[in-house]
Amino acid sequence: MLVKALLKALGIWKSGYDRLLDCIFYLPFGGEQRFRRSCLDFACIERGDKVLDVCCGSGALTKLIAECLGYSGQVIGVDLSTSVLKEAKTLQNQRIAFTCACGENLPLRSSIFDKCFLSFGLHHMDKQARQKTLREVSRTLAPGGSLFVIEYNLPEKVMARLASRALVKLDASAEAYPMLMNGDLIKELQKAVLNINRREFIGGDIIQLIEAGK
């Protein structure tokens, strides 16, 4: 009974801690919705697009993508966590579908997506897993398709650099800090046979938005 009570208390604490981190993270961007809208504006989603959202989590970004697609478009959200997908699947409709899968082995046909999103997913993977995931995403993109990566960045300015490092430390991902400090993301995208088309920075250059194409 004591163990169950402790586990329950830890679960509540973690949930509260995650919500607090979200508030801290999205505050400079004017809130989570505004931040995600900025990412979608960068991607220029068109009606009728077929979109893949890898590491979709509970589907917050997936839902916003669907709103841009019109009735002829479709978005598929993919995540490895069955618990977050349970919440995401409450959003399913004619334009939105979710599937449980690992980014390293996507159960999807080749060359079918116009656009793909990877939002804060790569920094949770080790380098080998990132490479496999990027190659899988590249495989599923149609000719002329684009991958949109949303990730941490290490700014040049001292205060912004310190803020970026602090955020990554709070993220509690073992892989996030080395990926940030080594600055390997661009090289890894190119290694996955993806060309860098555009790169922009937001939030005091703490976040980078990258468009990479086949």
How many Cβ atoms sit within 10 Å of the Cβ of residue 211? 19
In CATH, the architecture of 31-213 is 3-Layer(aba) Sandwich (3.40)
Which of 176, 79, 164, 170 is closest to 122 using CA atoms? 176
Which of 7-16, 62-71, 201-210 has the lowest average pLDDT? 7-16
**What is the rounded CA–CA span in Å between residue 7 and residue 159?**
38
Mean pLDDT of the chain: 86
Residue 11 has pLDDT above 80, yes or no: no
φ, ψ for residue 168 (rounded to 5)? Answer: -65, -40
Looking at residue 8, its pLDDT comes to: 45
**What is the rounded CA–CA span in Å between residue 51 and residue 117?**
8
* Residue bearing the bigger pLDDT, 159 or 213: 213
Residue 104 has pLDDT above 50, yes or no: yes
Q: Give the pTM.
A: 0.86
Looking at residue 192, its pLDDT comes to: 92
- Which amino acid is residue 114, in one-letter code? D
Residues 6+ apart with CB under 8 A from 66: 73, 75, 93, 95, 96
* Residue bearing the bigger pLDDT, 40 or 173: 40
Looking at residue 163, its pLDDT comes to: 82
Tell me which DSSP letter residue 95 carries: S
**172-210 as b/e, with b when 16 or more CB fall inside 10 Å?**
ebebbeebbeeeebeebbeebebeeeeeeebbebbbbbb
Looking at residue 203, its pLDDT comes to: 86
- 17-71 per-position pLDDT tens digit: 345 545 656 666 667 778 888 999 999 999 999 999 999 999 999 999 999 998 8
Q: How confident is the model at residue 180 (pLDDT cuts 50, 70, 90)?
A: confident
169 token code pair: 């430390």
Which of 118, 117, 121, 102 is closest to 171 using CA atoms? 121
